[in-house]
Amino acid sequence: MYNQLRQEVLQANKALKKHELIIFSWGNVSGIDRENGVFAIKPSGVAYDELTADKIVIVDLDGNVVDGELKPSSDTATHLELYQHFENIGGICHTHSTYATMWAQAQKEIPCYGTTHADHYYGTIPVTNSMDEESIASDYEKNTGTYIINRFKNIEPLDMPAVLVANHGPFTWGESARAAVKNAVVLEEVAEMALGSKLINPNLKSIDRNLLDKHFLRKHGKNAYYGQD
Amino acid sequence: MYNQLRQEVLQANKALKKHELIIFSWGNVSGIDRENGVFAIKPSGVAYDELTADKIVIVDLDGNVVDGELKPSSDTATHLELYQHFENIGGICHTHSTYATMWAQAQKEIPCYGTTHADHYYGTIPVTNSMDEESIASDYEKNTGTYIINRFKNIEPLDMPAVLVANHGPFTWGESARAAVKNAVVLEEVAEMALGSKLINPNLKSIDRNLLDKHFLRKHGKNAYYGQD
Amino acid sequence: MYNQLRQEVLQANKALKKHELIIFSWGNVSGIDRENGVFAIKPSGVAYDELTADKIVIVDLDGNVVDGELKPSSDTATHLELYQHFENIGGICHTHSTYATMWAQAQKEIPCYGTTHADHYYGTIPVTNSMDEESIASDYEKNTGTYIINRFKNIEPLDMPAVLVANHGPFTWGESARAAVKNAVVLEEVAEMALGSKLINPNLKSIDRNLLDKHFLRKHGKNAYYGQD
Amino acid sequence: MYNQLRQEVLQANKALKKHELIIFSWGNVSGIDRENGVFAIKPSGVAYDELTADKIVIVDLDGNVVDGELKPSSDTATHLELYQHFENIGGICHTHSTYATMWAQAQKEIPCYGTTHADHYYGTIPVTNSMDEESIASDYEKNTGTYIINRFKNIEPLDMPAVLVANHGPFTWGESARAAVKNAVVLEEVAEMALGSKLINPNLKSIDRNLLDKHFLRKHGKNAYYGQD
């Protein structure tokens, strides 16, 4: 019944390994079927080489496993929180990819230093606040989602499909599980470029608003003209 | 009719992936047939793995597609502008390769710190000015070309087959599409080395003129003695 | 008789190459059979491609070779010292992996900058003191172990399965040879991330104790809930 | 007649590509047969994939090609100069490997920051002086060798089988062509580690003399005890 969703989420998880964003069993990707009110997610602690479609876990929007033998990712409550509040996203990806994690650990937003960034993220990539003791002590994974949502109060999730969780690492999302992974790959590239640009020119500022608009809107929205569509 | 040109441009585009200068559908390479007044270029938004010769688009020097089913690269107008003004170049390559883009984003020229650089680029690798609001608002891609040409007023394009477009990334060129890609590979290497040298010795200056001359002219021009020719 | 132990240690050594932690014959992994009072270790100076199970050397806890034709690793006395004092470890791994060695050479501990680190190491990764002249002059490899043990006076080895030997490189350990290698892979990743985070934010401090506790204890000890067990 | 020498030098050149020290036709390795007074060297400008034993050029100690159809490496005169003055070396390797070239461009010696370095190079890796105008203008490649030799007046070549040519890149050597390549691989690793250690601890000094002696002499000379010999 959930076969197609499982396949999509399996392929998206496998793509994390292909793009060298993860090692061992780190990271996780999910995809949602909003019509049926369920999402599919990687099982906890399973290595990517051993991942098969039947191991993907199906979870409903109350957080209950409705299909699958294994425990879902330990980050499932974060995914759930994001699906409930970001109503137009279709997939979520979490990694500890090297350069994005450097910025998350440093608790520094990634300024938009160039068009590679502007093509995909509509401005500065935000960092969440550091979590307080109480939020860590109980419902930690759910609260991780809450901190993300609070940071996005004035940001449209599909205009900024990435966040750096302070002291932790990136979450990305998109219209599908596959798009979420693509945004994770681009984020890693953008994070590496931003570190290098900062080392070359420590006083560097974000690009001008009109160049940001030009590039983001060249690829997104009703006036987009990139690609074959 | 354009079969050979398409094959050359296909192979040059595929080489971008082999040399790990691009991910997804980023970047584009073109090659020109000056006799017939057309150039061949990568289609917009097509992944490199799916690229075949028949998908390469043929464009004339008024910017019209004269053969091919797909839309040409969104950067086609930049290529056209360069072909019109740099009359002895045969191919153009645009990437967002990591280290070259770091320098472009930082809006810093790459000084000639050593002979790897001097073997291929006859001096400091220039950066364009940041584009003004009007140039971004209309004919953005054509104007990108114009900014490059303005920066090259006193520079011979084949002596300096690379430029960093400010806030964006590198364009390279050469006598053929293949040579343009080779210059993109070397630029990426030179950009990485330059960042490292600057970190080791923040006060580093360009090499002396006579060492620059020796290395560039050892490989280029009528007294060249490198290689088998 | 030692066939299974040799196989485990062989696979663990081969994994060093797969994870690109070593070049040539650098590094070595061992695993102990505490019941029989022996450990198996890589032979000295043998390249990983040429390593086979029968070349793995069996050493007793007095440091004598009890089975095998080859000389054991030149670091055998360090392994022996650690097995004698860290009674609950089952395997040891030594590499000169690039980023971990940068920190060891710099004689700087790796602060816990994020949850990737906290998931695996319960706090700051320690550096040994630099060895004094006498400790270098005689029994150098045994004394390397002694310096590690002295540094761990108030640290539980399985809570902190890694150390940076000053001016040298990392040793890691775990419940098995395989776990020791996994800790070496994670250490290298954590060391790279820490350098990047420090470059982005030179004033960065370790994460709070409660976040450290949350992540380490989520994966270790009786209340762990990560994975399928 | 020169078949074995050609094979050794071919394999050593191919190893440069395997170890990712070169791109395109950059770099060159040679090996000498002192009994017959000839050395074998890579031809100029030939890509590594196209290199075969019969393309390797045989040169005598007056610099004349004595066997082979192709022009020898443009750096042949440098190799010749080194063979004439470093009488116990059997092979030479020149690359523009990324990290070693960063240091050469920065005109900074690589201090001995740790045991990885000390295992292979007996102290600080030297940089030549920058070449003067006259030395560049005529016999440039021969003079490159002379600058190296002048820098080694008080250094035993096999104790320090590497040099950084200022503004240019590394030359390494050893008892054979293969050993010269191994020293180039290790140098690249050491150069990368040194940059990282310097970034982590800008005030870092070389290791103490007794640790340097311990590690270098553990692997070299009559009291060596590393490996199976």
Q: Measured between CA atoms, how close is B179 to chain D, in angstroms?
A: 12
- Given a cut of 90, whether residue A226 has pLDDT beyond it is no
Q: Which residues of C touch D224 (CB under 8 A)?
A: none
What's the pLDDT score for residue D227?
86
**Cβ atoms within 10 A of the Cβ of D56, count?**
28
What's the pLDDT score for residue A228?
86
The helix (H) or strand (E) run that includes residue C4 is helix C3-18
Query: Which residues 153-192 of D are in CB contact (within 8 Å) with C?
Result: 182, 185-186, 189, 192
Cβ-defined contact of D182 to C99 (cutoff 8 Å): no
Q: Residue D138: is it exposed, middle or buried by C-beta count within 10 angstroms (0-12/13-18/19+)?
A: exposed
**Which residues lie closer than 8 Å to A49 by C-beta, 6 or more apart?**
A17
The catalytically annotated residue of B33, B67, B119, B139 is: B119
What's the pLDDT score for residue D112?
98
Q: Measured between CA atoms, how close is D167 to chain B, in angstroms?
A: 4
A61 in contact with C at a CB cutoff of 8 Å?
Answer: no
Query: Which residues 27-56 of D are in CB contact (within 8 Å) with B?
Result: 43-46
Give the Cα separation of A135 and B18 in Å (integer): 47
**Cβ atoms within 10 A of the Cβ of C11, count?**
16
Give the Cα separation of A131 and A129 in Å (integer): 6
Which spans in chain A are helix H? Answer: 3-18, 76-85, 98-106, 115-118, 133-137, 140-151, 177-200, 209-219
- Given a cut of 90, whether residue D214 has pLDDT beyond it is yes
Q: C-alpha A145: how far from its chain's center?
A: 11
Q: Per the structure block, which two tokens stand in for A121?
A: 């993220």
Question: B196 to chain D: nearest residue by CA?
Answer: D102
Q: Which DSSP state fits A190?
A: H
Q: Digits of tens for pLDDT over chain C (229 positions)?
A: 899 999 999 999 999 999 999 999 999 999 999 999 999 999 999 999 999 999 999 999 999 999 999 999 999 999 999 999 999 999 999 999 999 999 999 999 999 999 999 999 999 999 999 999 999 999 999 999 999 999 999 999 999 999 999 999 999 999 999 999 999 999 999 999 999 999 999 999 999 999 999 999 989 988 888 888 7
Helix (H/G/I), strand (E/B), else coil: A200: helix
* Partner-chain residue, chosen from D113, D186, D211, that has the shortest CB–CB distance to C136: D211
Cβ-defined contact of B225 to D74 (cutoff 8 Å): yes
What's the pLDDT score for residue C23?
94
Cβ-defined contact of C102 to D200 (cutoff 8 Å): yes
The amino acid at A30: S
Give the Cα separation of D36 and B158 in Å (integer): 45
Written as one string, the DSSP assignment of A55-112 is GSEEEETTS-EEE-SSPB-TTHHHHHHHHHH-TT--EEEE---HHHHHHHHHT--B--
Closest C-alpha to A225, from B169, C63, B77, C191: B77
What's the pLDDT score for residue D66?
97
Confidence label for D60 from pLDDT (cuts 50, 70 and 90) = very high
- Percent of chain D, pLDDT > 70? 100
Residue C226 annotated to the active site: yes
Helices D177-200 and C98-106: angle between axes, nearest 10 degrees: 60
Question: A183 to chain B: nearest residue by CA?
Answer: B24
Give the Cα separation of D146 and D144 in Å (integer): 5
| Residue that has been written with the tokens 């040099």 in this structure | D163
C202 in contact with A at a CB cutoff of 8 Å?
Answer: no
The amino acid at C223: N
| Residue that has been written with the tokens 């005030």 in this structure | D203
Question: C131 to chain D: nearest residue by CA?
Answer: D211
Give the Cα separation of A146 and A82 in Å (integer): 8
Give the Cα separation of A169 and A102 in Å (integer): 8
The amino acid at C101: T
**Cβ atoms within 10 A of the Cβ of A157, count?**
19
Q: Which residues of chain B have pLDDT under 50?
A: none
Q: C-alpha B140: how far from its chain's center?
A: 18
Q: Which residues of D touch B208 (CB under 8 A)?
A: 130, 133
The helix (H) or strand (E) run that includes residue C81 is helix C76-85
The catalytically annotated residue of C99, C119, C122, C147 is: C119
Q: Which residues of B touch A198 (CB under 8 A)?
A: 106
Confidence label for A182 from pLDDT (cuts 50, 70 and 90) = very high
Closest C-alpha to D210, from C138, A199, A211: C138
How high is the mean pLDDT of chain A? 97
What's the pLDDT score for residue B115?
98
Q: Which residues of C touch D208 (CB under 8 A)?
A: 130, 133
Give the Cα separation of D136 and B207 in Å (integer): 12
Q: Which residues of A touch C199 (CB under 8 A)?
A: 102, 195, 198-199
> Going from the N-terminus, what domains does chain C have, and what CATH number goes with each?
3-220 (3.40.225.10)
Cβ-defined contact of A101 to C193 (cutoff 8 Å): yes
What's the pLDDT score for residue D208?
96
Beta bridge partners of A40: A31, A58
**Which residues lie closer than 8 Å to D170 by C-beta, 6 or more apart?**
D94, D95, D97, D100, D101, D104, D162, D163, D164, D184, D187
* Partner-chain residue, chosen from D116, D210, D227, that has the shortest CB–CB distance to C169: D116
- Percent of chain A, pLDDT > 90? 95
In a mutagenesis test of the D interface, which of B195, B199, B200 is the best target, namely the one with the most D β-carbons within 10 Å? B200
D132 in contact with C at a CB cutoff of 8 Å?
Answer: no
Confidence label for D229 from pLDDT (cuts 50, 70 and 90) = confident
**Cβ atoms within 10 A of the Cβ of C141, count?**
16
Contact A16, A184 (CB under 8 A): yes
- Percent of chain A, pLDDT > 70? 100
Q: Measured between CA atoms, how close is A155 to chain C, in angstroms?
A: 25
Instruction: Report phi then psi at A80, rounded to 5.
Output: -55, -45
Contact A228, B46 (CB under 8 A): yes
Cβ-defined contact of A204 to B105 (cutoff 8 Å): yes
Mean pLDDT value of segment A151-173: 98
* Partner-chain residue, chosen from A45, A101, A140, that has the shortest CB–CB distance to C114: A101
Q: Per the structure block, which two tokens stand in for A179?
A: 């798009």
Phi-psi region of B38 (alpha: psi -120 to 50; beta: other; left: phi over 0): beta
Q: Which residues of A touch C193 (CB under 8 A)?
A: 98, 101-102, 105
Closest C-alpha to A207, from A221, A190, A189, A220: A190
Cβ-defined contact of D136 to B210 (cutoff 8 Å): yes
What was the ipTM of the complex prediction? 0.96
Contact A47, A24 (CB under 8 A): yes
What's the pLDDT score for residue A227?
86
In a mutagenesis test of the A interface, which of C20, C193, C216 is the best target, namely the one with the most A β-carbons within 10 Å? C193
What's the pLDDT score for residue C223?
85
Helices B98-106 and B177-200: angle between axes, nearest 10 degrees: 70
Q: Which residues of D touch C136 (CB under 8 A)?
A: 210-211, 214
For A33-51, what is each residue's pLDDT tens digit?
A: 999 999 999 999 999 999 9
Q: Per the structure block, which two tokens stand in for B39?
A: 């150039």
Give the Cα separation of D112 and D126 in Å (integer): 11
In a mutagenesis test of the C interface, which of A51, A71, A135, A167 is the best target, namely the one with the most C β-carbons within 10 Å? A167
∠ CA D103-D107-D110, rounded to 5°: 50
* Partner-chain residue, chosen from B114, B116, B199, that has the shortest CB–CB distance to D195: B199
* Partner-chain residue, chosen from A182, A200, A228, that has the shortest CB–CB distance to B106: A200
Cβ-defined contact of D133 to B210 (cutoff 8 Å): yes
Give the Cα separation of A63 and A80 in Å (integer): 7
C134 in contact with D at a CB cutoff of 8 Å?
Answer: no
Q: Measured between CA atoms, how close is B207 to chain A, in angstroms?
A: 19
Size of interface A-C (CB pairs under 8 A): 85
Contact D122, D160 (CB under 8 A): yes
Cβ-defined contact of C197 to A96 (cutoff 8 Å): no
How high is the mean pLDDT of chain D? 97
Q: Which residues of A touch C201 (CB under 8 A)?
A: 106-108
| Residue that has been written with the tokens 């009786």 in this structure | C222
Specify the range with the lowest mean pLDDT, choosing from A5-9, C56-60, D218-222: D218-222
Mean pLDDT value of segment D118-142: 97
Question: How far is CA A212 from each of CA A118, A119, B101, rounded to the nearest angstrom?
Answer: 5, 8, 16
Q: Which DSSP state fits A9?
A: H
Computed over its alpha carbons, how large is the radius of gyration of chain D? 17
The helix (H) or strand (E) run that includes residue C66 is strand C65-67
Residue C119 annotated to the active site: yes
For D155-208, what is each residue's pLDDT tens digit?
A: 999 999 999 999 999 999 999 999 999 999 999 999 999 999 999 999 999 999
Mean pLDDT value of segment D18-24: 96
Mean pLDDT value of segment A217-229: 87
What's the pLDDT score for residue D192?
98
